[in-house]
Amino acid sequence: MFVQGLRCTDCGHEYPAEALHVCDRCFAPLEVVYDLEAVRAEMSPESVAAGPPSLWRYAALLPANPVGRVDLGAGFTPLIRADRLAAELGLGELWLKNDTMNPTGSFKDRVVSVALTKARELGFKVAACSSTGNLANSVAAHAASAGMRAVVFIPSNLEPIKIAATAIYGATVVPLDGTYDDAARLCSELIEELDGWAFVNNNLRTYYSEGSKTLAFEIAEQLGWSAPDHVIIPVASGSQLTKIHKGFKELGAVGLLPGSAVPRLSGAQAEGCNPVAAAFDAGADGFTPVRQPTTIAKSLSIGNPTDGDRVLDSVRTTGGAVGQVNDAEILEGIGLLARAEGIFAETAGGVTVGVLAKLAAAGVVGRNERVVAIISGNGLKTVETVAPTLPANDVVKPTLNAVLELLGEAR
């Protein structure tokens, strides 16, 4: 392990590597600091390739001891060249990071694997979270694997399949009459009351969020240890985008990428929950929370994103943008991705593809750029959202003539 400690993202005050998530001086988030010179001496393309086919191949840049890790095989998902989708969008070189292939069908398996490994290391007995669905699925599955009790707090209006896909692992599901932000606030209060509880996206958030860096690590490795020009990332809490930024910078610092090889980063939000996109469009330094999200993209429905201000900083620092799409455009993006590349994404994927289409049309994403789009969750999680938009199928008799007539091939 190469962790030196924790550091405030705003004032720079340093802390030991304990279960801390905000600075007690300015209340900004903390982040993990590594001895990057020591990592440089340890980590190489060869050492990475010799590691497991999961995110734990990058253990030197992760904040938990890989010995006894909680590992269902998250990470090292396919990076797929998407020429047909690129042609549809008027782009040259487009790749899709297909995180629908993770164990519970979303990128949340990355962050939970790291968080629960750290939770066991720190002696926690219960795994808990506030969630818009995907995190609840992953916490429940990984806790079951680790022999830990799991308790998840969710808005009561989540997709039924996500609720079922949490309960099946034996987790205690607590549906709340409120939004995700209400659930997150409640969990912040419960931390003070419940000893031995690891709220992965709260008191363990500093470690949990490091799992998202592995998207940057994998993209670089899968592109032959080179960086793309532009990465399009869905934005909910904002942690994924900011940690992908951190991941590319760390690869440069340890010599696995040229030091300046940080791609442009662009965020994608739904119009019905768009605090970061609205702030970007207004040129504002901070965002105004959305009190009541109204979008089919429930997995992105975080009206008060913890890392929203840092998303704005990452996007502006790298020369990217933050776009937004409405519900109809989300559904169009889901369908386009499925028809062009054979990948069925949940609503967050529709947001990513829809925003990519808009940014490409506006020239923000250039035809000469090597672009990667993050497809963060499996469409089977939100099938009831797209099902009503699909054409009905006529029932036909099981005869040759009837089928040929239906297909327009009657002779």
- In sequence order, the 6+-apart residues with CB closer than 8 A to the CB of 65 are 1, 117, 121
Under the banding of pLDDT at 50, 70 and 90, the label for residue 259 is confident
Identify the pLDDT of residue 261.
83
The answer to whether 353 touches 378, Cβ cutoff 8 Å, is: no
Report whether pLDDT(410) > 80.
no
Look up residue 167 and give its amino acid.
Answer: A
Q: What percent of the chain has pLDDT over 90?
A: 92
The answer to whether 390 touches 379, Cβ cutoff 8 Å, is: no
Rounded to an integer, what distance in angstroms lies between the CA atom of residue 25 and that of residue 326? 39
Rounded to an integer, what distance in angstroms lies between the CA atom of residue 235 and that of residue 269? 6
Identify the pLDDT of residue 25.
92
Identify the pLDDT of residue 161.
93
Between 261 and 260, whose confidence is greater? Answer: 261
Q: Average of pLDDT values for 191-209?
A: 94
Q: Average of pLDDT values for 228-252?
A: 97
DSSP state of 290: P
Under the banding of pLDDT at 50, 70 and 90, the label for residue 126 is very high
Q: Tell me the two tokens of residue 268.
A: 């994608």
Which residue's entry shows tokens 């440089």?
40
Where do the domains of the chain lie? Answer: 79-104+209-389
Under the banding of pLDDT at 50, 70 and 90, the label for residue 230 is very high
Identify the pLDDT of residue 264.
98
The DSSP H or E segment spanning 198 is strand 197-199
Q: Does domain 79-104+209-389 have CATH number 3.40.50.150?
A: no
